[in-house]
With several copies, the nearest count.
Chain A
Amino acid sequence: MIDILFFGRVADSLGKRRLAMALPPEGLSLFALRLRLFDGEGDGRLRMSVNQVVVTDDRPLHDGDEVAFFSVFSGG
């Protein structure tokens, strides 16, 4: 199982903040997961993290990973 979290505009437009998913037996990469969740819509402003570290490159996902999708940060 992996935990998938959504924040900011992304959570809003998906209408959910969290999802648990079993990894398929053939494995799943971060980019493949993104494609599956976001319908390949290719929003250039979509950001990702794995285990709370922002990542920009593709990578295989492992059981217990915490993946998050979100829009650009805006604090202050």
Chain B
Amino acid sequence: MEMEVRLLPAGFDPAAVHGDFLARFGTLGAVTAFTGVVREAAKGAAVDYLYLDWYPGMTETSIQAIADAAAERFDIRALSIHHRCGEVRAGEPVVFVAAASVHRRAAFEAVDYMMDRLKSEAALWKREVGPQTDRWVEPTTGDADDLKRWSDK
């Protein structure tokens, strides 16, 4: 298993990370990638930036645990998690997750699974800040439902 897990206090280029991942692991056959970008509005209110508070050490450990669980659970050969922390401005990427496998189903499921867990189980605390907004975001019941999809398997 090849894993690259990065917590990044500064901006990154998901297209470049994807290109590098494809070059290294594409020949396995199947690569699925997800990129999350900060939206310019949330619940109708303009957003200037997210602030992702983090706990140095524990945050990295929590993300690595999610990577390890995905590697254990799905028939994948390589994975990548790049997650921003600190201030992430609207339009900037906040998370990139990829998996490579021989058959495509495993790559799809692994990325889907890692995203669901990152939402609720990575040691990060997300604040949305905009001209009329300044609030700490907590996982929604939808996020909890997403997570439950994986518990009966």
How many residues from B make CB contacts under 8 Å with A?
A: 27
Given the known interface contacts A75-B118, A76-B119, the answer about A70 and B136 at a Cβ–Cβ threshold of 8 Å is: no
Contact B95 A76 (CB under 8 A): yes
Which of A7-15, A25-33, A34-42, A57-65 touches B? A7-15
Q: CA of A8 to CA of B124 in the docked complex: distance in angstroms?
A: 8
Which residues of A have CB within 8 Å of B136? 8-9, 12, 71, 74
Given the known interface contacts A7-B125, A52-B58, the answer about A72 and B53 at a Cβ–Cβ threshold of 8 Å is: no
A: residues with CB less than 8 A from B are 5, 7-9, 11-12, 45, 49, 52, 68, 70-76
Q: List 20 A-B contacts (CB under 8 A).
A: A7-B55, A8-B53, A8-B136, A9-B125, A45-B138, A52-B55, A71-B125, A71-B138, A72-B120, A73-B62, A73-B121, A74-B119, A74-B125, A74-B136, A74-B138, A75-B52, A75-B126, A76-B36, A76-B119, A76-B122
